[in-house]
Amino acid sequence: NAGVTQTPKFQVLKTGQSMTLQCAQDMNHNSMYWYRQDPGMGLRLIYYSASEGTTDKGEVPNGYNVSRLNKREFSLRLESAAPSQTSVYFCASSEGTGGPSYEQYFGPGTRLTVT
């Protein structure tokens, strides 16, 4: 049982390049999330998917797009990377689809640098 996996672990991009961060979970969870963490900060929600087939914006969605490919996979795309998107990106999943929230399970993170 791998939990939540993310690829790649590290990535360096030039300004204007695009890339997709991959996330998969094997816990049959309904909800999946993308967060970013900047130095000395807590996590901020970028996008989330409460169930397969739905996605919604979080606190900081600008510059990102997401795809809930199936129940297991939730990808985050940067269409035109900017230095302000240098951050550590975490994917998470949780069991519930509504009502009070459940604990979230986090992946190991992707450290992205945009030069």
Partner 1 sequence: SQQGEEDPQALSIQEGENATMNCSYKTSINNLQWYRQNSGRGLVHLILIRSNEREKHSGRLRVTLDTSKKSSSLLITASRAADTASYFCATDAGGGADGLTFGKGTHLIIQP
Site for partner 1 in 85-104 (CB under 8 A): 90, 92, 94, 96-104
The H or E element containing residue 20 is strand 19-25
Q: Which is nearer to partner 1, 18 or 38 (CB)?
A: 38
Q: Which is nearer to partner 1, 17 or 102 (CB)?
A: 102
Instruction: Compute φ and ψ for 85, nearest 5 degrees.
Output: -95, 5
Q: Give the residue among 9, 19, 21 at the shortest CA–CA distance from 82.
A: 19
Q: Give SS3 for 8.
A: coil
Q: Which is nearer to partner 1, 44 or 71 (CB)?
A: 44
- Site pattern 18..57 for partner 1 (x: CB under 8 A): ------------xx-x-x----xxxxxx--x-xx----x-
Does a cis peptide bond (omega within 30 degrees of 0) precede residue 8?
yes
Query: What DSSP character marks residue 53?
Result: T
Residues of the shown chain interacting with partner 1 in the complex, contacts defined by CB under 8 A:
4, 30-31, 33, 35, 40-45, 48, 50-51, 56, 58-59, 90, 92, 94, 96-109
